[in-house]
Structure 1
């Protein structure tokens, strides 16, 4: 089998491995394998192909990978999920809420709730803001805050 074809297969295997790890290391090694494949296509000796692989892979790891990783992490927004999406939303009090408990309606769901401070209380019909969620209980405060 031709040397260039082995380098191409190696680059493909490394690229597939990168899809499994998502660390950008194997992708840089795949780039080195493509560099070595180019030398093989030009008729370079095996030792020259290996040196090319090492140099190109090293250069990609040192120069390109940090920049690519920085762009990937900076462009990925922090995504809220689960109960964190409820924080900041407003709800209607359905049963008086104080520091010991109460009930609120958020959309079609009814939640147990309590106030953040012991002296606070909200009568039924009041609009409150969800400040945090502790288990199945929403901690609420004044909606005007």
Structure 2
């Protein structure tokens, strides 16, 4: 009895292993390899020698990985939640200075109600001299970055209210 006559058992075991790994990773890589292995199994059932079965499985797996997996991943992620979360949600958020904020420290209360340690952003070449060196309690700020547990802030832009009074916006 020839060992190649039992190759179908090896293919079934490989397919089962790849499907189990895929269920643990959920990345479609092992699913594509499992489907490629099905191609190897089918080619063996029609009488292809073992080395031909391996070639069919390998080529089919590579084709699936490069041409089927990317669209599947795009479809899977297409319906994702577009809302920003965590640190990304804080960038651009307005706040109010609670404790004097300078380039070294201070505290702000963000629009979501959280009080954060804050520091004033370093001036950029676009900022003309006269940029604030510290902000006093009650001033409005906007978060431009988060560095660890510190919100990096800049003074909120000045806008004219509906009643003609100039005020800082809290975004």
TM-score (norm. length: structure 1):
0.69
Alpha-carbon distance change, 75 to 130 in structure 1, aligned in 2, over 3 angstroms: farther
Work out whether residues 31 and 57 of structure 1, in 8 Å CA contact, stay in contact via their aligned partners in 2: no
Which secondary structure does the structure 2 equivalent of 1:55 belong to?
Answer: helix
Identify, as 1 or 2, the structure richer in helix.
1
Work out whether residues 92 and 143 of structure 2, in 8 Å CA contact, stay in contact via their aligned partners in 1: yes
Q: Which residue of 2 aligns with 1:112?
A: 117
**Unpaired segments of 5 or more residues in structure 2?**
124-130, 159-171
Alpha-carbon distance change, 73 to 13 in structure 1, aligned in 2, over 3 angstroms: same
Work out whether residues 140 and 155 of structure 2, in 8 Å CA contact, stay in contact via their aligned partners in 1: yes
- Cα distance in 2 between the residues matched to 1:75 and 1:7: 28
Q: Which residue of 1 aligns with 2:87?
A: 83
**Residues 1:16 and 2:17 are matched in the alignment:** no
**Unpaired segments of 5 or more residues in structure 1?**
none
How far is 1:88 from its partner? 1.6
- Cα distance in 2 between the residues matched to 1:53 and 1:23: 20
Which secondary structure does the structure 1 equivalent of 2:100 belong to?
Answer: strand
Q: Which residue of 2 aligns with 1:45?
A: 47
- Cα distance in 2 between the residues matched to 1:100 and 1:36: 65
Q: Which residue of 1 aligns with 2:150?
A: 137
How far is 1:67 from its partner? 2.9
Q: Which residue of 2 aligns with 1:123?
A: 136
- Which 4+ runs in 1 deviate beyond 6 A? 77-80
- Cα distance in 1 between the residues matched to 2:148 and 2:37: 52
Between 87-96 and 28-37, the greater mean CA deviation after superposition? 28-37
TM-score (norm. length: structure 2):
0.61
Q: How many residues align?
A: 140
Q: Which residue of 2 aligns with 1:102?
A: 106
Work out whether residues 100 and 107 of structure 2, in 8 Å CA contact, stay in contact via their aligned partners in 1: yes
- Cα distance in 2 between the residues matched to 1:33 and 1:59: 8
